[in-house]
Amino acid sequence: MSDAEFMRLALRLARRGLGRTSPNPMVGALLVRRGDVVTVYARSPGIQVRTTARAKDDGAEDDLIAVESFQTRKVFLARVCGVREAEVFAQAPRVEAEIGAPGPATTAGRSGNRPTPLTGPDAARRGQAGAASAVR
């Protein structure tokens, strides 16, 4: 078999798979259908958690869809990121400096972000510097 014949055969075989072998779905293609079991990821720096849930909506890439947890039956929103895959966003606590007039230093509490006064030597040092740390 000559090189030209070999190439024609290879091209003929390649045409058979046209449209079925593309690794990326077409733009706007539904990656998740209502009722599908989807893998839901929660990603944060240094950790990734995954679980399964039932899709309550159809969705294309980057669409927000409702999914229902199998464990708790709670419904939450997730962003479609792949075929039968979605992700929710988890944020790690971060510290921000608040610049202001000198006064009592506070930290934002986790419940409702209510300020909680600091006590002891740390409060005096931070109060004099005019900056407080807030955890969100």
Give yes or no: residues 79 and 59 share one domain. yes
Residue 76 CB contacts under 8 Å (≥ 6 apart), including other chains: 66, 67, 69, 88
Question: Of 105, 108, 136, which Cα lies nearest the Cα of 121?
Answer: 105
- Residue 14 has what DSSP assignment? H
What's 73's domain CATH number?
Answer: 2.30.30.760
Question: Of 73, 134, 131, which Cα lies nearest the Cα of 102?
Answer: 131
Looking at residue 123, its pLDDT comes to 46
Give yes or no: residues 85 and 115 share one domain. no
Q: Is residue 54 part of a domain?
A: yes
Q: Indicate the pLDDT class of residue 43, thresholds 50, 70 and 90.
A: confident
Distance CA 120, CA 93 (A): 24
Give yes or no: residues 34 and 76 share one domain. yes
Amino acid at residue number 111: S
Q: Which residue range(s) make up the domain with 35?
A: 21-89
Q: Is residue 130 part of a domain?
A: yes
Q: Indicate the pLDDT class of residue 25, thresholds 50, 70 and 90.
A: low
Whether the pLDDT of residue 115 is over 60: the answer is no
Read off the pTM: 0.49
Split into its structural domains, the chain has a count of 2
Whether the pLDDT of residue 69 is over 80: the answer is yes
